[in-house]
C-alpha cells in the first residue's frame, strides 16, 4: 500500500488517477485491480500554471484547494477567462475558435464551452450520453458571452453535480436536447448562430447495466463514465471519484 494525495481523476481513453506521492506528481492508468481507501483527511492539491502543476506552498490541510492556490490556478483562465496573473496568455486564449455545446443528464440540459476540436472529448470527460454542438465562434470573449446569454434565456445549467449524475444513471434521454435544438433553430436572436446541420449525437460507454454505489474503490476496474468509476468485486459497483479529490488516501 502507498500513501497518495489524490489530485483528480480523468476518464478519457483510459481511466487515470493523478496524485502526489512523496512530493512527486504521478499519473497512473487505472487498469486491473485497484484499491483506494479514504482517510477522511483532505489537503490542498496545489495549483496548475503554464509550467505544470505545483504543490501548495503552505501545505494547507482540511480543504481540497486553499484560497491562494485557487487564485493561482490557471483553471480560472479556462472557466472564466480571468487572466489575472496570466495576462501574457490573454491574446492566445481570446483569439482562437471555440464551440458551444449542450449535453443532457436525464431531463437536465447543460451548456458548455470548449476548444472546437475537443467537443466529443469534453463530453466524454463529463460522462454525458447525448450532446449537440450548437455554435462555433471565433474568439473567447464572444463565446463566453454567448454561453451566458443562452443559460439565462433557456435555463441551461452551467454545471451538474456528480451526485446528480449518479442518480440519473440509466435515465438518459435525448428529447431535452432535441427540444432545445429546435428552440434555438427557431429563435430570432440565436438561430443565425446555430451550426448548419447541427444534430443530437450519442456517445457509448462500456459500463454495466446494474450496479451498487460504493464509497471506496476495491476491485477490478471495468469502466468509467465521467467521474463515475465502475469496478467489480463480487458484483458491479460504482464510485464517485470526484469526492476523492484532495483526499489523503492509501492506494494499491
21 and 251 Cβ atoms separated by less than 8 Å: no
Whether the model pTM is above 0.85:
yes
Q: What is the pLDDT of residues 6-59, one digit of tens each?
A: 999 999 778 999 999 999 999 999 999 999 998 989 999 999 999 999 999 999
Task: Provide the terminal-to-terminal Cα distance of the chain, rounded to the nearest Å.
Answer: 5
Instruction: Give residue limits of the domains in the chain.
Output: 2-90+211-251, 96-202
**Residue 85 zone, left/alpha/beta (φ > 0; ψ -120 to 50; rest):** left
Report the alpha-carbon distance of residue 116 to residue 63 in Å, rounded.
34
144 and 35 Cβ atoms separated by less than 8 Å: no
Helix (H) / strand (E) containing 223: strand 217-225
pLDDT tops 90 at residue 78: no
Angstrom CA distances, 198 to 17, 23, 96, 97, 113, stand at 34, 47, 21, 17, 16
Amino acid at each position: 500500500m502507498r500513501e497518495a494525495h489524490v489530485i483528480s481523476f480523468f476518464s478519457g481513453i483510459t481511466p487515470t488517477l493523478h496524485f502526489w506521492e512523496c512530493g512527486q506528481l504521478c499519473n497512473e492508468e487505472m487498469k486491473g485491480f485497484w484499491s483506494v481507501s479514504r482517510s477522511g483527511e483532505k489537503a490542498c492539491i496545489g495549483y496548475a500554471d503554464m509550467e505544470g502543476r505545483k504543490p501548495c506552498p503552505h501545505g494547507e490541510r482540511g480543504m481540497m484547494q486553499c484560497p491562494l492556490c485557487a487564485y493561482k490556478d490557471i483553471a480560472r483562465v479556462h472557466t472564466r477567462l480571468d487572466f489575472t496573473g496570466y495576462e501574457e496568455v490573454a491574446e492566445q486564449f481570446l483569439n482562437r475558435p471555440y464551440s458551444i455545446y449542450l449535453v443532457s443528464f436525464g431531463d437536465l440540459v447543460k451548456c458548455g464551452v470548449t476548444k472546437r476540436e475537443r467537443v466529443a472529448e469534453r463530453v466524454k470527460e463529463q460522462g454525458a450520453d447525448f450532446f449537440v454542438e450548437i455554435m462555433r465562434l471565433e474568439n473567447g470573449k464572444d463565446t463566453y458571452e454567448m454561453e451566458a446569454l443562452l443559460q439565462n434565456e433557456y435555463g441551461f445549467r452551467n454545471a451538474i453535480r456528480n451526485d446528480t449524475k449518479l442518480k440519473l444513471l440509466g435515465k438518459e434521454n435525448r428529447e431535452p436536447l432535441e427540444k432545445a435544438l429546435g428552440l434555438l433553430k427557431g429563435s430570432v436572436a440565436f438561430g443565425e448562430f446555430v451550426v448548419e446541420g447541427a444534430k443530437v449525437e450519442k456517445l457509448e460507454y462500456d459500463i454495466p447495466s446494474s450496479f451498487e454505489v460504493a464509497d471506496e474503490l476495491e476491485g477490478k476496474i471495468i469502466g468509467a463514465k465521467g467521474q463515475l468509476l465502475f469496478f467489480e468485486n463480487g458484483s458491479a459497483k460504482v464510485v464517485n471519484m470526484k469526492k476523492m479529490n484532495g483526499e489523503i488516501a492509501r492506494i494499491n
